Amino acid sequence: MATGEHDPRIPPPFQQAERVLRFGDQSIDVLANELGTPYYAYDRAAIEARVQALRRHLPQRVRLSYAVKANPMPALVNFLASRVDGLDVASAGEAERALASAMTPSAISFAGPGKRDSEIAQAVHSGITIGLESRRQIDTVAAEAREQGKTPRVSLRLNPDFRVKGSGMHMGGGPQPFGVDVEQAPEFLRTIHDEGLHLAGIHIFAGSQNLRASVIAEAQRRSLDLALELTHELSHAPEFINIGGGFGIPYFPGDVPLDLATVGKHLHALDEELAAASPDTHLVVELGRYIVGEAGVYVTRVIDRKISRGQVYLITDGGMHHHLAASGNLGQVLRKNYPVAIGNRLDERAEERVTIAGPLCTPLDVLADRVFLPRAEVGDLVVVFQSGAYGLTASPTGFLGHPPPQEILV
């Protein structure tokens, strides 16, 4: 590939390829020497650009919340805290990171089907907004509120009566451990009221990793309708209706990036409708991977090269214990390769088909299966793109006792 030419193996925002992949204002080989390998690197400029694109397309009244579960690296959470309107956390550990950032506690929301008593006590104490997902959660929050003499801010998470087609993961519709079935919601709302908790909002998160704007728009419309129907009967208008997110990113050949302009257009219509029906209520859109997924790479070094019955294997010092998703073992039904490159040979033509396997003693530890790449040698750097979300945080780092990777925000 000629210098500067766009290589289809290299997804945006890394189009200006030279021989060595540049990342922010750094080269991946310099970072490899400084940090050691393997490592994850996340590009601030790419994250910033993504937030700005969202701000451009989404209505001004819509609040943007970052789902910390996608990437809880403290420096990245701190960076985003001053750029988004809220942080969504899924455990006391994530809450601690969010509370250590510049985000106001009330703009931190706590979701999850299983909240320990100690987590609820910490949430009540810190003043974050607790997403209620069961009768027991309501009772525990109410007991804790009495104990601490506080009025907690809460939201009710609904399990809607519809499913979002084309989502990588479904979190709503049918039986679910998440949220309360919408049929039971009126009763739960009465209990929340009777217990004296402050109902700040309604939360619906129907699914994740969706690339179809029309499907997302339809899910958002149905979520808003559902929430409005319920909130009609409340004594006060809720401050927010969180209609989830599910904005996907392209991982595999044939994946077409989400048409954000179309999602934005539909959201403008919904927002106007909401402003007319309930002027003090605003929409929240909650996103993880769309904000950080494309801004991160995982870099691992080739430590061996071997041929088994004609198949070339590059063995790397990193693998599924750091990047379960790229190995295809995080919810993929049919294994597909994440986009990869030999990051220090971007100017060379692809000439061989190789399988990139990690150091673990399991056939599951494959980062890329029979991909066409330039010839790589021991010492070269394999780059796995689209690795900013659900990378390290979703990986079994303890498996087989190899050291953890470094992480850097550049």
Ligand X SMILES: Cc1ncc(COP(=O)(O)O)c(C=O)c1O
> Closest-CB residue for ligand X?
288
Map the footprint of ligand X across residues 81-120, applying CB under 6 A: 88, 111
* Residue bearing tokens 């027991």: 136
Kindly tell me which residue out of 160, 245, 319, 339 binds ligand X, with binding defined by CB under 6 A.
245
Nearer to ligand X, 137 or 316 (CB): 137
Q: Compute the least distance from the CB of residue 299 to ligand X, in Å.
A: 22
Q: Compute the least distance from the CB of residue 190 to ligand X, in Å.
A: 24
Q: Is residue 67 near ligand X by the rule CB under 6 A?
A: yes
Nearer to ligand X, 70 or 409 (CB): 70
Q: Compute the least distance from the CB of residue 249 to ligand X, in Å.
A: 9
What lies within 8 Å, CB to CB, of 136 at 6+ separation is: none
Which pair of structure tokens corresponds to residue 22?
A: 């540049």
The Cα–Cα gap between 109 and 310 comes to 53
Part in contact with ligand X (CB under 6 A); list of ranges 23-31, 201-209, 253-261, 357-365: 201-209
Give the count of residues interacting with ligand X (CB under 6 A): 16
Nearer to ligand X, 140 or 242 (CB): 242
- In this structure, are residues 383 and 314 in contact, taking their beta carbons and an 8 Å threshold? no
Q: Is residue 231 near ligand X by the rule CB under 6 A?
A: no
The Cα–Cα gap between 398 and 242 comes to 35
The Cα–Cα gap between 125 and 152 comes to 9
Map the footprint of ligand X across residues 281-300, applying CB under 6 A: 286-290
The Cα–Cα gap between 70 and 144 comes to 29
Q: Compute the least distance from the CB of residue 75 to ligand X, in Å.
A: 19
Part in contact with ligand X (CB under 6 A); list of ranges 4-12, 97-105, 205-213, 305-313: 205-213
Strand, coil or helix: what is 334? coil
b/e map of 323-357 (b: 16 or more CB within 10 Å)? Answer: bbbbbbbeeeeeeebbbbbbbbbbbeebeeebbbb
Summarize as ranges the residues that interact with ligand X (CB under 6 A).
67, 70, 88, 111, 171, 205, 208-209, 245-246, 286-290, 389
